[in-house]
Structure 1
């Protein structure tokens, strides 16, 4: 399987983990004002004229997590700090979090680092991104190992 497909599969799996965390956060009533899906939906609607449907936000969320971050993780993997893919994934997640804090958060009206939502917004999103990064790195390493084992078996 091509390396970019593996990296996008890892991005997808990590985005599923992050999505489950977001749904659990919402179900517990924690920081309802911090809703990335609603933010993405609103941005797509107001800035691109897309329908104001949460499905638009969810699709954007998965495209960003799977394609953008999945491929970027593969491209930066060898340059990221850490000795294992799991640690590299967590290192990468800090980059993804930082990008979210300085680009989409202000665009969505939440301010730089989401500070208009309060101090918990950047802290909670960082924790969720670190878990996302751990999942990204873990799945990526497993897919790499499976690919290496399959290649060795055919040689």
Structure 2
């Protein structure tokens, strides 16, 4: 059960990092048509605040908890590699389900080729943070080997 709690904390922190990057992207005017919170708000038929809450629930509960539960099954020799693989899987799921449901087409191609590329980069960063934080919180004291084979599968 402690591993799930660790995953939830790691998922929350990774979602904070992802959210900051999404806000920065919007503030810089990069691909304004790719507004994930706007898309979620429209899909949910609710306010942007509710969409942000949904975004954090997905990142914390689904992705953070899912990462903890599936950790031993995820390919990769380190927590970082597992986090990146998990982030890519989450991206793929978003590209084939959420994007089409939001009217952006498969892989978000309704927004052009930059949409899947940008969201892939964001999900790789999300996964990197998820894996690194999970390792730091779950590793025995003094074990800071995030980049090498680890023993967190149990």
* Higher helix proportion (structure 1 or 2): 1
Structure 2: state its 5+ residue gaps.
143-154
Question: For residue 96 of structure 2, what is the aligned residue in structure 1?
Answer: 102
Structure 1: state its 5+ residue gaps.
46-51, 151-155
SS in 2 for 1:31: coil
**What is the total number of aligned residue pairs between the two structures?**
142
- Runs of 4+ aligned structure 1 residues displaced above 3 Å come to none
CA RMSD between the two structures: 1.3
| Bigger Rg, structure 1 or 2 | 1
TM-score normalised over the length of structure 2: 0.89
Asked if 1:2 corresponds to 2:28, the answer is no
Question: For residue 33 of structure 2, what is the aligned residue in structure 1?
Answer: 33
SS in 2 for 1:83: coil
Q: CA offset at residue 80 of structure 1?
A: 1.4
Q: CA offset at residue 92 of structure 1?
A: 0.5
Asked if 1:77 corresponds to 2:71, the answer is yes
SS in 2 for 1:103: helix
TM-score normalised over the length of structure 1: 0.88
- Once the two structures are superposed, the pairs formed by residues 58-73 of structure 1 within 5 Å of their partners are 58-73=52-67
